Structure 1
Amino acid sequence: MMSKQNVPELRFPEFSGEWEEKKLGEISQNAMYGMNTAATDFDGENVYVRITDIEEQSRKLNTKDFTSPSEINDRYLLNEEDILFARTGASTGKSYLHRSLNQNLKYYFAGFLIKFELKGGFNPNFIYPQTLTQKYDKWVKVMSMRSGQPGINGKEYSLLPIHTTSEEEQEKIGEFFNKLDRLIELEEKKLELLEEQKKGYMQKIFSQELRFKDENGNDYPEWEEKKIGEIASFSKGKDISKSDLTNEGEPCVLYGELYTRYKDVINEVHSKTNLPAQFLKVAYKNSVLIPSSGETPIDIAKATAINVRSVLVGGDINILNPINGYLGTFISMIINGRYKKRLSKFSQGKTVVHLYNNDIKKLKIDLPTYEEQKKISSFLEKFNKLIEIRNSKIEQMKNRKKTLLQKMYLS
């Protein structure tokens, strides 16, 4: 049975027989384009669903920054389990299965999205995961090719190959992935609570509302305000590109990783290069890295301390080297936790913003004694380690889901 072409590699034992291939247009109502109207402040009732409101990795609706359409037209109202596709630009192919997070709200979809409503006999929870597979990604890559920016229109999405099986098997597979998604969501909520707890402690500690005691139970001395230029020397990284990365070699940090991979502290370096170290910039334990270019002032205003022996540092990165008596992990944490907005005001530029060492030197921060810096950093690092463990578990679960998608659907 498993030698048949239209049979998945992994299957529930009670089902047999080949799957059937259809086109999306055969199993759904006609493709419908969204409404072309501007977004306005959220009115508390009508939610505007745009490409940017669908999170790239989770494919869930971002609930933190709802907006409303400037004009209301119920023709564009989303129904439960409608499927949306992004039709143009870099997001082409992004898909979303609509679920009403709040039954008291109405959801309308925007013009750069295309809606498909499945016909009876076709389970959205079974059909939709097929848009999360490598097979789908390859189809999008080919179908979206244009002379200008990529795009896929409604007629083309209607040609998307979809495999179907009995309603019973559709329901079982759909429910299986729903359960897996709920487990991932549960872990993500635990992670969110941890991050909120850490954030709360950081606000209280760095505002000095919460203070630590020394080993004898006595108060530490009052904090002192200093310019960063008084407590650190400065340098810059040198160019290392993604093409320079290798499986073996010296540990290195690239500019982009400060945004995507690392947070307050680098306890483990994930990239390596074989480029000659003598032509590059080396940073050592206790140094602090701050991006020197980025998209927005608030994004660029972030710090990451090095907590490994040494690392090669790529271009577009400012390097702060604290003098004796000042702890890099504490400086990184207090910048991220209390002085992010203040640091962002030193950035320059519009399309691409820059942050220079000479400006970072001017940033004033409150600093406790070295002993209290260590105690605070140790306390917050415990949260970082718990967050890393939770993140790792979520990543493992997501990878497991990807593997199961490849095996439980036809590739």
Structure 2
Amino acid sequence: MSPTGYYDKFNNSGDKIIVSARGANAGYVNRISTPYWAGNSCYSIGIKNSLILNWLYVYYFLKGNEKKLIGSQQKGSIPSVSKKQIENTLIPIPPLDVQAEIVRILDTFTELTAELTAELTARKKQYEYYREELLSFEEGEVEHLPMGEIGIFQRGKRFVKNDMISEGFPCIHYGEMYTYYNIWATESKSFLSADLVEIKKLRIAEKNDVVIVAAGETIEDIGMGTAWLGDEGVVFHDACFTFRSKLNSKYVAYFTRTKQFHDQIKKHISSGKISAIHANGLSKVVIPIPSIEEQERIVGILDKFDMLVNSISEGLPKEIELRQKQYEYYRDRLLSFPSLSEL
């Protein structure tokens, strides 16, 4: 929960717990240490007696019950969590020194995750900087040519989400280009029946083709490419193009994520409810063409950055995921106390 804005007055002192009252995130729990102005879309929870309860202990307890609160949303045109639902939440009250120790331990985990997240943000900026630098060349330093002169664009054919199954012939739906695929892929997330591929004469990307998404809700969404490196071909959606050339396919995929690429395609994108670009527009994009050896060197450097900032099996995202799971495990263990009937 982030501030929706800033105001020169406040109606709550700091050291409070905030619970979202309405909307899709009703039940979301956060904390704030400084004075703030609270609107009617959230509940502010303070502690009546600090000799009995540590407010941060209460925060961590409610944070641990966040999923339960969100799951108990009152449904309607706007989901909500009532004040009574929060007031009826039972909380175990161990001695203050125990509460303080629990807070200390959980604060340590929270700070570690925050540090890793900050490092990830910094590394992403560093990655973006080097990607732009490595893929930028002065005129005359290397050849620059329109992509349409050095490769072939082919548009996919239409299939719908309901056609997709859990196994069969690999396929890429254009929506998955935003949510699942990155620089390169060897396996698909989704599949189609081989019969459907044959009946509809769907188009197939081969190894080393670059699949480029050509439609999206915003101009910024369009143009990202994924190098297909699978030994088996993959069907691609009609809101995508493949680009086939003699260039290193990962070099091309990295290029489609640069500012210079997106600055060039903007003028060729038709805007509307769904923005789109056609092969003619993509063909006019000028790409720098260093030697194959230089392309491979650039890809090698960028692969290391990409692994560090995007890999869910290694790198910082994996480290953050592990620390978050560790925090949640200890939070649940530390905040679990036997009821009086169990003693």
- Give the secondary structure class of the aligned counterpart of 1:329: helix
Report the secondary structure of 2:153's partner residue: strand
Residue 277 of structure 1 and its aligned partner are, at CA, apart by: 7.2
Q: Which structure 2 residues correspond to residues 6-17 of structure 1 after superposition, within 5 A?
A: none
Q: Output the aligned Cα RMSD.
A: 3.4
2:6 aligned to which of 50, 68, 77:
68
* AA partner of residue 401 (structure 1): Y
1:346 aligns with 2:258: no
Asked if 1:236 corresponds to 2:156, the answer is yes
- State how far apart, in whole Å, the 1-side matches of 2:149 and 2:97 are: 67
Summarize the Cα distance change of 1:203–1:144 in structure 2 as closer, same or farther, 3 Å threshold: same
The one-letter code sitting in structure 1 at the alignment partner of 2:124 is E
- Residue 54 of structure 2 corresponds to which residue in structure 1? 123
Measured after TM superposition, the shift of residue 228 of structure 1 is: 4.3
Aligned to 1:332: 253
TM-score, normalising length from structure 2?
A: 0.78
Q: Is the 8 A contact 1:83 1:117 kept in 2?
A: yes
The answer (yes or no) to whether the contact 2:142–2:288 under 8 Å persists in 1 is no
Residue equivalent to 1:197: 126
| Cα deviation 1:287-337 (Å, max 9, x = unaligned) | 2233343332213343332333346456464132322x2222112212212
Whether 1:368 aligns to 2:290 is yes
SS of alignment partner, residue 142 of structure 2: coil
SS class of match (2:98): helix
Secondary structure of 2:287's counterpart equals strand
Deviations 1:257-278 (A, max 9, x none): 4323433x12464735474376
Letter in 1 for 2:53: F
Partners of 1:222 and 1:368 within 8 A in 2:
yes
Structure 1 CA distance, aligned partners of 2:300 and 2:323? 29
Counterparts of 2:85 and 2:297, CA distance in 1: 60
Q: Does 1:259 align with 2:216?
A: no
For 1:85, what is the secondary structure of its paired residue?
Answer: strand
When residues 368 and 282 of structure 1 are mapped into structure 2, their CA distance, relative to the original with a 3 A threshold, is same
Q: Secondary structure at the match of 2:177?
A: helix
Identical positions, percent: 18
**Deviation at residue 115 of structure 1 after TM alignment:** 2.0
Counterpart of 1:49 in structure 2 is: 3
- The question of 1:178 aligning with 2:178 is answered no
Cα distance between partner residues in 2 of 1:145 and 1:303: 40
How far has the Cα of 1:49 moved from its partner?
Answer: 0.9
**Contact map agreement 2:61 2:91 (CA 8 A) in 1:** yes
Deviation at residue 84 of structure 1 after TM alignment = 1.7
The letter for the 2-side match of 1:73 is K
Q: Find the partner of 2:318 among 389, 392, 402.
A: 392
How many residue pairs are counted as aligned between the two chains? 325
How far apart are residue 161 of structure 1 and its match? 4.3
Which residue identity lines up with residue 109 of structure 2 in the other structure?
L
- AA aligned to 1:329 is K
Give SS of 1:49's match. coil
Paired letter, 1:96: N
The answer (yes or no) to whether the contact 2:9–2:36 under 8 Å persists in 1 is no
Q: Name the CA distance, whole Å, in 2 between partners of 1:318 and 1:358.
A: 13
Deviations 1:203-251 (A, max 9, x none): 2223327x9xxxxxxxx952313144752322226546489453x6665
Q: Deviations over 1:96-120 (max 9, x none)?
A: 22256xxxxx754455333222332
Given the alignment of the two structures, is residue 145 of structure 1 paired with residue 75 of structure 2, yes or no? yes
Structure number with the higher helix fraction is 2
Partner of 1:308: 230
- Give the whole-Å Cα distance in 1 for the aligned partners of 2:226 and 2:155: 15
Contact 2:185 2:230 in 1 (8 A): yes
Question: Equivalent residue for 2:340?
Answer: none
Q: Per the alignment, do residues 399 and 316 of structure 1 end up closer, same or farther by CA in structure 2, a change over 3 Å counting?
A: farther
Q: Which amino acid aligns with 1:141?
A: G
Aligned equivalents of 1:409, 1:270: Cα separation in 2: 41
Q: Judge conservation of contact 1:123–1:170 (CA < 8 Å) in 2.
A: yes
Which SS does the other structure have where 1:201 is aligned?
A: helix
Q: Any idea what SS the aligned residue of 1:289 has?
A: strand
Corresponding residue SS for 2:240: strand
CA distance in 2, matches of 1:370, 1:336: 19
Cα pair 2:164 2:191 within 8 Å, conserved:
yes
Alpha carbons 2:214, 2:240 under 8 Å: kept: yes
- Alignment counterpart, residue 84 of structure 1, candidates 18, 23, 47: 18
